[in-house]
Amino acid sequence: MKKMHRAACPLALVAVVSLALLPGAAWAQGASVEPAESLVGAEQAGDEAAFAVAEANGAQAEGKEPQEMQPSFEQVLCELESTSAEYTGVAITPQVTVRDGERLLVGGRDYAVSYENNVVPGEASVLIGGLGDYAGFEARVPFAIVKSEGNRIALPGSWQHNGTGWWYAYDDGGYPTSCILEVDGALYRFDSAGYMYAGWYILNGAWQYSYPNGVVPSGWAFVGGSWYYLDPQTGDMRTGWVNDSGTWYFTNSSGAMQTGWLCRFGTWYWLNDSGAMASGWAWIDGSWYLFAEDGEMLTGWQKVDDEWFLLSGSGAMQTGWVLQGETWYYLAGSGVMATGREEVGGSWYAFDDSGAMKTGWVLCDDGWVYAQPSGALQTGWLAKGGWYWLDPEQQGLMVVGIQQIGGAWYKFQDSGRMESSCWFEFEDGRAAHASASGAVDYYAKYDENGDVVLRKENGDSFAGWELLGSSWFHFDENGACDTGWKYLGGAWYYFGADGSMLTGWFKDAGKWYYLASSGGMVTGWHTIDSHYYQFGGDGAMLEAELSATTDMQRQLVAACSAVPTPGPGLCSEWVALVFNRIGQGQLLPNNDYDADDMFYAYCGLDNLSELRVGMIIAVPSHTHTYAGSIWGHICIYVGNNTVMDNIGRIRTMPLDEWLSYYTTTYSPKWGWYNGVPLE
């Protein structure tokens, strides 16, 4: 006879028995289900090894063939990982360990495992059947499936419906009431009569919610276009601040989650599109804002990662120039406050450690710089009680000692002041002469008396054109340097007091001249640095009338600012409207009198000295637009070397830029509109 072998130790089982009434009249009477518990002990099988031996001996005594003895499994022990398991609604399959003495047996080779009654609360069993060498071995190891008080998983059952609503009927005939249960992985709440809740309802003074299908949300629920937070433990709808997994949210008095700006007791907070409260930096409506860890929006100066930022009263991070009191600060595009030397808009500025912009002489870590009243660091030459060179390659750092600038050599004192009209020596012993401009104009030799004299290396005097150092000189037949204006080889030149030839812009006797790179004085029209200038036969730059001298001129200038654009491509119509505004001229039929027509009709002057405030300036054609190539373009001179025109918007631009831009096919000309001076 085979017996079931016991486990190593007995297991205690806890069974939950539920008695319940179906929904109906009994529910209306307040019937409820009361759990009952009973403890069931497991039986222990006895050992029959001695019986088997005696049976075999008896067969031999009677002269019978002895039967094959049943194998002994005395040392086989079966142990479970736990003596009880919590009810889950699905089959529970605890792991079993089987040993033969010290030997660990292998499942699937030495034994197979099956289960009985392992779903609902009560006594369950693990069945072990031997395989291979252990064929014939059988054991039943009991364990308990229990349903704790807080276990929300429903017992096996099915959904039922009547005219009142839905309920869940247990297979044993009962049903849940006044509780929340998990059915098929979802939570449902049932009222005192056992019916499933749906929609909003109040329990214990708090609002709760179930979806239309009865499922109870845990945490966030989207209802009627808004998010609500239902406490995962109680189901209560939360209002006010809600902390979900370390993130703060805010729900209003109706429970709806808030987004956007929130003001609470004078403190502003930002709740992003997900409702999460912002902390740290946040990009909102085109501006950066900074929030403390508790969500408070910060204002004023704030230090973040050793960098200073300035937040306006609205909280928006400021950038660019900011004036506080009488002190200027600069905040980069990132909002970081500038310190030291910083480049802003193509210019360099100096700031102290507090961020304050400095002016005047400023001592930096690597030397001196000079900040103009605007704060911009001076670069290049600076006249400040003497000449200084502020190196553009070093953000305006003041130089000292012997320096080469623009191909010429200069000597600067330790104070930075340039030396001029003097001799000095290079480290190699060469003698150099600094002209009045400071530039070394020539090198020299010593005569027999030790005096420095201007001579060629062979001792001859200089004559004609000579390049000495980086400057050109012209010597007469006697070897003397020319100075002032000189007419040489069909062109006029100007030589400084030290004899060096000048180039570029030059002012003499209150008039401006321009000397080409060759030194020759220019006349006529010239484009210089993308600007259009006119010079008379004497080389003096011609200028237009600077300001209005008559009431009609002043009225016209005012009308230029008052008359709006009639549209793009209608430059001549705008001009006609401006003059019509002051009662000068008439609007032509269909406004078809174009810029090229006005050019040929009214514009006959090309001498800038004859340009007066209120004159029109036109070209009959230009290459910048298709329309312009056909009808040209026109503007009005409003004084101060400025014009106004219509390009779809009314603009103001410098006269020389307008002339330079539109001089592509024809040279601009000017004259009075309708030929009538504004007197």
Q: Cα–Cα distances in Å, from 400 out to 412, 418, 609?
A: 5, 8, 46
Provide, rounded to the nearest whole percent, the portion of the chain with pLDDT above 70: 84
**Both tokens of residue 421?**
């009209």
- Taking a C-beta distance cutoff of 8 angstroms, is the pair 93, 85 a contact? no
The strand pairing partners of 556, in sequence order, are: none
Residue 60 has pLDDT above 50, yes or no: no
DSSP states of 41-101: EPP-PPP-HHHHHHHHHHHHHTTPPPPPPPPP-TTEEEEES-SEEE--SS-----EEEEET
What is the per-residue pLDDT for 20?
32
Confidence of residue 378 (pLDDT cuts 50, 70, 90): very high
Spatial distance between the Cα atoms of 434 and 403, rounded to a whole number of angstroms: 12
Q: What is the DSSP letter of 335?
A: -
- Taking a C-beta distance cutoff of 8 angstroms, is the pair 125, 116 a contact? yes
Q: List, in order, residues 6 or more apart from 78 with CB less than 8 Å away.
A: 5, 7, 8, 96, 97, 98, 126, 128, 139, 141
Chain segment 193-211, per-residue pLDDT in tens: 999 999 999 999 999 999 9
Spatial distance between the Cα atoms of 50 and 54, rounded to a whole number of angstroms: 6
Q: Cα–Cα distances in Å, from 475 out to 197, 354, 472, 478, 486?
A: 113, 58, 10, 7, 11
CA-CA-CA-CA torsion for 555, 558, 562, 565, nearest 10 degrees? 90
Calculate ∠ Cα 605-599-536, nearest 5°: 20
CA 558 from chain centre, in angstroms, equals 44
Q: What is the mean pLDDT of residues 341-350?
A: 92
Confidence of residue 424 (pLDDT cuts 50, 70, 90): confident
SS3 label, residue 627:
helix
Element (H, E) at 160: strand 157-161
What is the per-residue pLDDT for 529?
87
DSSP states of 405-445: ETTEEEEE-TTSPBP-SEEEE-TT--EEEE-TTSSEEEE-E
Confidence of residue 12 (pLDDT cuts 50, 70, 90): very low
Spatial distance between the Cα atoms of 574 and 267, rounded to a whole number of angstroms: 54
Q: List, in order, residues 6 or more apart from 359 with CB less than 8 Å away.
A: 371, 372, 373, 375
**Both tokens of residue 317?**
């991070």
Per residue, what are the HEC states of 390-412?
A: EEHHHCCEECCEEEEECCEEEEE
- Taking a C-beta distance cutoff of 8 angstroms, is the pair 437, 498 a contact? yes
What is the per-residue pLDDT for 256?
97
Q: What is the mean pLDDT of residues 637-654?
A: 95
What is the dihedral sign for C-alpha 416, 418, 422, 423?
positive
- Taking a C-beta distance cutoff of 8 angstroms, is the pair 580, 656 a contact? no
What is the per-residue pLDDT for 429?
65
What is the per-residue pLDDT for 191?
94
Q: How many helices (H) and strands (E) does the chain have?
A: 7, 54
What is the per-residue pLDDT for 214?
94
Identity at 244, one-letter amino acid code: D
Q: What is the mean pLDDT of residues 436-442?
A: 81
Chain segment 469-528, per-residue pLDDT in tens: 678 888 877 667 788 999 999 999 999 877 789 999 999 999 999 999 999 999 998 888
Provide, rounded to the nearest whole percent, the portion of the chain with pLDDT above 90: 69
Q: What is the mean pLDDT of residues 45-73?
A: 47
Spatial distance between the Cα atoms of 244 and 198, rounded to a whole number of angstroms: 25
**Both tokens of residue 474?**
């012209």
Helical pair 551-562 and 571-581, crossing angle rounded to 10 deg: 130
What is the per-residue pLDDT for 447?
46
Per residue, what are the HEC states of 590-604?
A: HHCCCHHHHHHHHCC
Confidence of residue 456 (pLDDT cuts 50, 70, 90): low
Spatial distance between the Cα atoms of 505 and 526, rounded to a whole number of angstroms: 13
- Taking a C-beta distance cutoff of 8 angstroms, is the pair 78, 95 a contact? no
Identity at 511, one-letter amino acid code: K
What is the per-residue pLDDT for 422?
80
Confidence of residue 65 (pLDDT cuts 50, 70, 90): low
425 vs 381, more confident: 381
Spatial distance between the Cα atoms of 525 and 536, rounded to a whole number of angstroms: 9
Calculate ∠ Cα 131-135-139, nearest 5°: 85
Confidence of residue 11 (pLDDT cuts 50, 70, 90): very low
- Tokens 């089987």 belong to residue: 98
Give burial (CB, 10 Å; 0-12/13-18/19+) of 258: middle
Spatial distance between the Cα atoms of 244 and 229, rounded to a whole number of angstroms: 9
Give burial (CB, 10 Å; 0-12/13-18/19+) of 220: middle
- Tokens 């989207």 belong to residue: 222
589 vs 628, more confident: 628
**Both tokens of residue 558?**
């005012």
Confidence of residue 454 (pLDDT cuts 50, 70, 90): low
Q: What is the mean pLDDT of residues 427-444?
A: 76
Among the ranges given (41-45, 209-213, 347-351, 506-510), the one the predictor scored with the smallest mean pLDDT = 41-45
Q: What is the mean pLDDT of residues 530-544?
A: 90
Calculate ∠ Cα 411-416-417, nearest 5°: 70
What is the per-residue pLDDT for 25?
31
Q: What is the mean pLDDT of residues 48-61?
A: 42
Residue 100 has pLDDT above 90, yes or no: yes
Q: What is the mean pLDDT of residues 69-90?
A: 85
Spatial distance between the Cα atoms of 670 and 617, rounded to a whole number of angstroms: 4
Query: What does the chain come to in residues?
Result: 679
Average pLDDT, the chain: 85
Spatial distance between the Cα atoms of 334 and 322, rounded to a whole number of angstroms: 14
Confidence of residue 3 (pLDDT cuts 50, 70, 90): very low
- Taking a C-beta distance cutoff of 8 angstroms, is the pair 64, 22 a contact? no
- Tokens 């499933």 belong to residue: 196
Residue 449 has pLDDT above 70, yes or no: no
The strand pairing partners of 492, in sequence order, are: 487
What is the per-residue pLDDT for 588?
54
What is the per-residue pLDDT for 35?
34
Identity at 26, one-letter amino acid code: A
Chain segment 205-253, per-residue pLDDT in tens: 999 999 999 999 989 999 999 999 999 888 999 999 999 999 999 999 9
Chain segment 656-670, per-residue pLDDT in tens: 999 999 999 999 999
67 vs 560, more confident: 560
Listed residue (637, 463, 261, 418) closest to 454, CA to CA: 463
- Tokens 């009952």 belong to residue: 36
Tell me the longest C-alpha to C-alpha distance in the chain.
164
Among the ranges given (16-25, 420-429, 601-610), the one the predictor scored with the smallest mean pLDDT = 16-25
- Taking a C-beta distance cutoff of 8 angstroms, is the pair 508, 495 a contact? no
Alpha helices in 468-530 (DSSP H): none
